[in-house]
């Protein structure tokens, strides 16, 4: 009888003084700009430079798309909230945020595992690399990553949004994160939390295990490389991916599978900031600064720009 039809939610965001909010607005705006420009630059470089038309950069291109979409789903509304605007969000808008958040997060989980398999084949089976990682295989792996993210993201979002909500409608977060929204449901959400945990096992622990197995094989192969140039090339490509994997999976497991993962709103906000801003802004920097081919493609693009303007 106390249940009402909820039409909108209130995003509490960050409970801090106005001066600090303006400071955070400036910092987050810079990080969001870096995310958009950095990932867009990586995407453009890969599309324009034929030397980057390889499986590794094909998957990196998809990772850049995921990061741009992921950040754009959450950050603009958070920036408006920091300015004292946009604290309310419609039920449909909240559902869209949850849905897209899950799709992009789960897609990135699978995509990072696919990228580790690509590195495994490149290092451990270099003579068969072109045959194994052919164009059809690359397109299939990318399509599977997006399909899994869409299917399981849609399943979780649908089950969460069909729960009854009766107020208060204050989401203790800066966007509609699924755990924060589940706290407002007027019914038992144990089944939803079990599903979230099961999906985490499938999309976090299982891919992480595959990644670790791939890099154990890569490490065993590296130990047989005698040339310094071979060591440097292997570490420059695999090291970048390992950094991204460690940051992404480590924080995801801590957030969704750690003890008390559904009770600490402060921890959820901090870790969500990492996913929404820090990780997407670091990915292009990590790959470009540590990768010789990407830096050469950037220099080539700059020279082409100077010639065009002259």
142 belongs to a structural domain: yes
Mean pLDDT is highest, among 127-141, 163-177, 201-215, for: 127-141
Quick: pLDDT tens for 36-87: 998 998 898 888 888 888 898 899 999 999 999 989 998 998 898 888 776 8
100 belongs to a structural domain: yes
Model pTM greater than 0.85? yes
263 belongs to a structural domain: yes
For residue 163, pLDDT over 80 is answered with yes
For the residues 12-41, what does the mean pLDDT come to? 87
Q: How confident is the model at residue 97 (pLDDT cuts 50, 70, 90)?
A: very high
Domain span at residue 169?
Answer: 8-305
48 belongs to a structural domain: yes
Q: CA–CA distance from 196 to each of 102, 201, 203, 212 (Å)?
A: 11, 9, 10, 23
Q: How confident is the model at residue 129 (pLDDT cuts 50, 70, 90)?
A: very high
1 belongs to a structural domain: no
3 belongs to a structural domain: no
CATH number, domain with residue 189 = 1.20.1070.10
265 belongs to a structural domain: yes
Quick: pLDDT tens for 231-261: 666 666 666 667 778 878 888 888 787 665 5
For the chain, how many structural domains are there in total? Answer: 1
Q: Which of 95, 99, 100 is nearest to 8 (CA)?
A: 95
Q: In whole numbers, what is the pLDDT of the chain averaged over residues?
A: 83
For residue 152, pLDDT over 90 is answered with yes
Q: Which of 212, 214, 213, 234 is nearest to 222 (CA)?
A: 234
144 belongs to a structural domain: yes
């Amino acid at each position: 009888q106390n249940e009402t039809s909820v039409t909108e939610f209130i995003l509490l965001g960050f409970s801090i003084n106005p001066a600090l909010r303006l400071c955070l607005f400036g910092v987050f705006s810079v990080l969001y700009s870096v995310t958009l420009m950095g990932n867009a630059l990586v995407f453009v470089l890969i599309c324009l430079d034929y030397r980057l038309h390889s499986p590794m950069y094909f998957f990196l291109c998809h990772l850049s798309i995921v990061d741009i979409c992921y950040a754009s789903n959450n950050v603009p509304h958070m920036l408006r909230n920091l300015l004292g605007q946009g604290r309310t969000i419609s039920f449909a808008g909240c559902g869209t945020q949850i849905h897209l958040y899950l799709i992009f997060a789960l897609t990135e989980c699978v995509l990072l595992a696919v990228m580790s398999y690509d590195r495994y084949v490149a290092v451990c089976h270099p003579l068969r690399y072109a045959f194994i990682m052919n164009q059809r295989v690359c397109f299939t792996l990318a399509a599977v990553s997006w399909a899994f993210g869409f299917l399981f993201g849609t399943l979780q979002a649908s089950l969460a949004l069909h729960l009854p909500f009766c107020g208060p409608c204050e989401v203790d977060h800066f966007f509609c994160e699924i755990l924060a929204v589940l706290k407002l449901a007027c019914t038992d959400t144990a089944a939803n939390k079990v599903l979230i945990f099961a999906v985490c096992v499938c999309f976090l622990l299982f891919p992480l295990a595959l990644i670790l197995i791939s890099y154990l094989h890569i490490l065993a192969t590296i130990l047989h490389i005698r040339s310094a140039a071979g060591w440097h090339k292997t570490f420059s490509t695999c090291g970048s991916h390992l950094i991204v994997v460690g940051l992404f999976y480590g924080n995801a497991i801590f957030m969704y599978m750690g003890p008390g993962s559904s009770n600490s709103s402060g921890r959820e906000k901090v870790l969500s900031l990492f996913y929404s801003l820090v990780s997407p802004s670091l990915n292009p920097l990590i790959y470009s600064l540590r990768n010789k081919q990407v830096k050469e493609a950037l220099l080539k693009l700059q020279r082409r720009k100077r010639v065009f303007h002259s």
